[in-house]
Amino acid sequence: MVIKLQQELTINSYKTIDGRGANVHIAYGVGLTIQFVQHVITHNLHIHDIQPSSGGNIRDSEDHWGIRTRSDGDGVSIFGSSNVWVDHLSMFNCVDGLIDAISGSIAITISNCHLTRHNDNGSRLNPKMSDS
């Protein structure tokens, strides 16, 4: 099954996205957004060929719709969230990066993932690191 998202899939708290027992690809569109939530699990997905999106009117909770700005092309974007488990993902070819965990995100576990063909390894954050 290939899921092509036109806009970011914004995940709420206490959710699990579980691809076990299926061959689920999120591809050729935009990725997953985990923003200001807690207790989220993503498991056994293939996320690849993710592109930026134009944003738009997105529902981010049961009772709130809001305008989102353009997404940057991350496969999984974790922003200001806690207790997030990213497990058994296969990820490649995302325009900006494969996984971003930023803006005070804590208790993030990334385990047993296969991450290939990406262009951002974080070495620019530490001037003592080199590519050689």
pLDDT of 89 above 80? yes
pLDDT digits (tens, 9 = 90+) for 101-132: 988 999 999 999 999 987 665 433 334 444 44
Q: What is the pLDDT of residue 122?
A: 46
Q: What is the number of other CB atoms lying within 10 angstroms of the CB of residue 93? A: 18
**Residue linked to tokens 């490649």:** 92
d(CA 102, CA 116) in angstroms, rounded, equals 21
**SS3 (DSSP) at 22:** coil
pLDDT digits (tens, 9 = 90+) for 13-26: 999 999 999 999 99
- Mean pLDDT, the chain, whole residue set: 86
Question: What dihedral angle (degrees, nearest 10) is formed by the CA atoms of 73, 108, 86, 52?
Answer: -10
Q: What is the pLDDT of residue 40?
A: 98
Choose the weakest-confidence range: 38-47, 50-59, 62-71, 95-104: 62-71
CA 57 to chain centre: 19
0.85 exceeded by the pTM? no
